[in-house]
Amino acid sequence: MKQLLVLSGKGGTGKTTIVASFIHLLKAKAFADCDVDAPNLHLVTSMKSIPRKTDYYGLDKAIIDEAICIGCGKCMANCRFNAISELNGTYTVNPYSCEGCSVCEVICPVGAIEMNQDIAGELNLYKDQAVFSTATLKMGSGTSGKLVTEVKTALTTGIKTNIENGIFDKVDVAVIDGSPGIGCPVIASISGVDLILVVTEPTVSGLSDMKRVIEIANFFKIQVAICTNKFDVNLDKTESIKEYAKENNLSYVGVIPYDPQVAIAINKGINVMEDSSQAAKYIQDVFNNTMELIN
């Protein structure tokens, strides 16, 4: 099974829209949404089954028992994350800042602090004729990298189950919708991937962010392909992206024009490839070129 990951660096370049199109064109049997901070893929994939929901545990969080606390302030003084504050003699831990290091638990002279398991999100695994793995991180959480890994693990497990139950023989290509940025969720989504398709836009921000995400991809030595979405917004910048790809020996798989019809189709719940938008023809080309690379 080959894994295709779609990244962008900059947000809003069209990853999810392109992933949805690819899923349609591939009649994909397996796909995942690794943008756990702001998952969107489920809005454009019509899964019929009820997903299996699993709690996701992030880092433990410290909690101070007021009854035992003697107000010495050692916990606050030693918390490197400024997660402990004091008001009128009461010490409390801000769960959004707490990183679960447990220094406070150990340093407390009276054992007033405990580390508690914290449900930081939820995983959803759909198993229809296709397997779809997604998750949502609770607002304000960290540990998104670990959740992304669990999304991918769930996808693999789901695929195995479907094969065992005879739903399908195998999966040729699994498509993964990545997240913007270059942080942990991106890094965690990269493992085990065969090709990264970077979807960029012809803007200064798009180019700048694209370069940073390619730096990460190169560090992991994974093949990168680039496509430019909304290319007609700025033809000069589009040309710069093409040149950048050439100079850096990266595959350039095509361009897609800005098309307001795309947003309208998505809002109506129609797959872009089923709608006769201008963009659809271009997406088909990008798809063909990408598939050639991955196989």
Partner 1 sequence: MKIAVLSGKGGTGKTFVSVNLAEVQGHGTYVDCDVEEPNGHLFFQPVWLETDYISRKLPVIDADKCNGCRICTDFCKFNALAYIANQVLVFEEVCHSCGGCFLFCPQGAISEKDKEVGKVQYGKSLTTTVYTGTMLTKEISGIAVIDALLSKIKDIENVVIDCPPGSACSVMESIKDAHYCVLVAEPTIFGSHNLAMVHELVELYKKPYGVVLNKCIDGENPSKAYCIENGIPVLMEIPYDEKLGRYQSEGRIPAREDEEFRDMFIKLQGIIDQEVDYETAISTKW
Partner 2 sequence: MKLLIPANEENIEAGICVSFGRAPYFLIWDTEKGNARFIENSGASSSGGAGIKVAQDVVDQKVDVLIVPRIGKNASDVIDASNIAIFKSINENVMETIQSMLDGKLEVLTDIHPGFHNHGDK
Kindly list the residues in this chain that would bind partner 1 in the complex (CB under 8 A). 8-13, 16, 37-38, 40, 43-44, 59-60, 78, 80-82, 96-97, 99-103, 106-107, 137, 139-142, 144-145, 180-184, 187, 201-206, 208-209, 212, 215-216, 219, 233-234, 237, 258, 260, 263-264, 266-267
In the complex, minimum distance from the CB of residue 142 to partner 2, in angstroms, rounded to a whole number: 3
CB of 85 or CB of 161, closer to partner 1: 85
Residue in 137, 133, 123, 61 with CA at minimum distance from that of residue 93: 61
C-alpha–C-alpha distance, residues 183 and 150, integer Å: 17
C-alpha–C-alpha distance, residues 40 and 229, integer Å: 18
The continuous run of DSSP H or E covering 177 comes out as: strand 173-177
User: How far is C-alpha 7 from the chain's CA centre?
Assistant: 8
Span near partner 2 by CB under 8 A; candidates 141-149, 204-212, 228-236, 277-285: 141-149
Total residues at the site for partner 2 (CB under 8 A)? 18
Compose the 92-131 pattern: x for residues touching partner 2 by CB under 8 A, - for all others. -------xx-------------------------------
C-alpha–C-alpha distance, residues 133 and 156, integer Å: 9
58 binds partner 2 (CB under 8 A): yes
CB of 182 or CB of 270, closer to partner 2: 182
> Among partner 2, partner 1, none, what binds residue 212 when CB lies within 5 to 8 Å by partner kind?
partner 1
Indicate the DSSP class of residue 5.
E
CB of 1 or CB of 263, closer to partner 1: 263
CB of 51 or CB of 142, closer to partner 1: 142
> Among partner 1, partner 2, none, what binds residue 191 when CB lies within 5 to 8 Å by partner kind?
partner 2
> Among partner 2, partner 1, none, what binds residue 201 when CB lies within 5 to 8 Å by partner kind?
partner 1
> Among partner 1, partner 2, none, what binds residue 217 when CB lies within 5 to 8 Å by partner kind?
none
Phi-psi sector, 102: left (phi>0), alpha (psi -120 to 50), beta: left
Q: Residue 278, SS3?
A: helix
Chain positions 202 to 231 lying near partner 2, rule: CB under 8 A, are: 219-221
CB of 101 or CB of 167, closer to partner 1: 101
The answer for residues whose C-beta is within 8 angstroms of residue 133's C-beta and 6 or more apart is 31, 32, 33, 123, 124, 125, 126, 151, 152, 154, 155, 158
CB of 72 or CB of 103, closer to partner 2: 103
CB of 172 or CB of 274, closer to partner 1: 274
- Per-residue DSSP letters for 32-57? EE--TTS--GGGS----SPPEEEEEE
Would you say 21 and 212 are in contact if contact means Cβ atoms under 8 Å apart?
no
> Among partner 2, partner 1, none, what binds residue 127 when CB lies within 5 to 8 Å by partner kind?
none
The continuous run of DSSP H or E covering 127 comes out as: strand 119-127
Query: Sign of dihedral through CA atoms 164, 167, 52, 39?
Result: positive
Pair of tokens at residue 225:
């392909």
* Residues contributing to the site for partner 2 (CB under 8 A): 58-59, 99-100, 142-143, 145-146, 148-149, 153, 184, 187-188, 191, 219-221
